[in-house]
Structure 1
Amino acid sequence: MKDKLSAFVLAAPIALITLTGCSMNSDETTIVGTSTSMDAANATEKVSSGIYDLIGVKGKTSDSQSGVSECSGKDEDKYFRIFHPWSFYPTSASDLEKAMKNLRAELPKHGWKIVEYGPDTSKHRNINLTADNDQKKVSVNIVQMLKNDPPKLSLTVVTGCYKVPDGQKVQHF
């Protein structure tokens, strides 16, 4: 089970990058900036925190860390993406739909462009929302999992491709 979860966590950013319509992701070789892995991870977690603030209902989040993934076709010692998967569990299961509605309404007011919204093809027909923020050079995929026990929002924030500063290597974590 743990191996399957690890494989999912590693595959999710690649799938998100492939599925999003974000201009920063339309060309896999586009570099969105120069940063160390740690600085980019800290900035990505701040983006996640900003998304949390838009949820607008009480609840708790999972305690998850950012990770580093490669940029397709690029030197993995010099180029990287950051992904930050996390979950939100509302205090009341009935608040889950309200949380998703709040995000759908509030994200565009904060520089996000919703590029996909609707049910997925899973048995539970989970609602998926994918949004891009070109200014922050990130995308987010949010899945409303009403049938999960407990119900939750599953979120993954993924950055565009960064290059480390000259003379440094990507720190993988």
Structure 2
Amino acid sequence: MTDDDITKPPTTSAGTPDETGSGIPDAGTATVDEAVASVKAVSSQIYDFTGVPGTASKPGPGVKACSGKDPDKHFQVYHPWNFKPDSGTDNDVAMKNLREKLSTGGWVIKDSYRDNSPHKSLNLIADNDSRKMSVWIVAYSERATPSLGIEVASGCYRAPEGETIKHF
């Protein structure tokens, strides 16, 4: 999530891998706008799952090609953002709440580990197979300003016939 962290790559699948073996599941057919709206909705849900007052960073979702697939026909949506609790001591409370909530409502925790950054930050990876979404959360609790690094990623969408995919 940041350049000073050395972490293992997320073992996210967001469901069953597609036929290319990329580990990214087929999320069906959708326009870019529909897919972006779905990822934003999941990000909002994750924000609510923190259960503590705080501020989310402003950058919005991006669109990228799916590995091993035609970039003119397939795309994936990702949304990296940060959550800064109003109180730094709430960072660990938010992570505890996320661990609990990401074990309900179709969410399944796939991995939880401490990375090899200087602060041994806690990482949490969860998938929602029915929504074809995955989230990777890193708790930066030992920093001067504690926060959570969050990235929501979709499965691989197929654009409807005639739709132009804008990668951003």
Measured against the shorter chain, the TM-score band is 0.7 to 0.9
Match of 2:123 in 1: 128
2:40 partner SS = helix
Considering only aligned residues, what root-mean-square deviation do their CA atoms show, in Å?
1.9
Matched residue type, 1:37 = V
Identity %: 42
Report 1:1-173 matches (<5 A): 15-16=9-10, 19-25=11-17, 27-28=21-22, 30-173=25-168
In 1, distance between residues paired with 2:39 and 2:15?
18
In 2, distance between residues paired with 1:135 and 1:88?
25
Shift of 1:169: 2.0
In 2, distance between residues paired with 1:141 and 1:148?
19
On the 8 A contact 2:65/2:76 being kept in 1, the answer is yes
1:38 partner SS = helix
On the 8 A contact 2:114/2:123 being kept in 1, the answer is yes
In 2, distance between residues paired with 1:93 and 1:35?
39
Matched residue type, 2:71 = E
Gaps of 5+ in 2: 4-8
Matched residue type, 1:23 = G
Superposition TM-score, scaled by structure 1 size? 0.86
Shift of 1:70: 1.0
Superposition misfits of 4+ residues, deviation over 4 angstroms = none
On the 8 A contact 1:24/1:160 being kept in 2, the answer is no
1:65 partner SS = coil
- For these two proteins, the number of residue pairs brought into alignment is 160
Matched residue type, 1:83 = Y
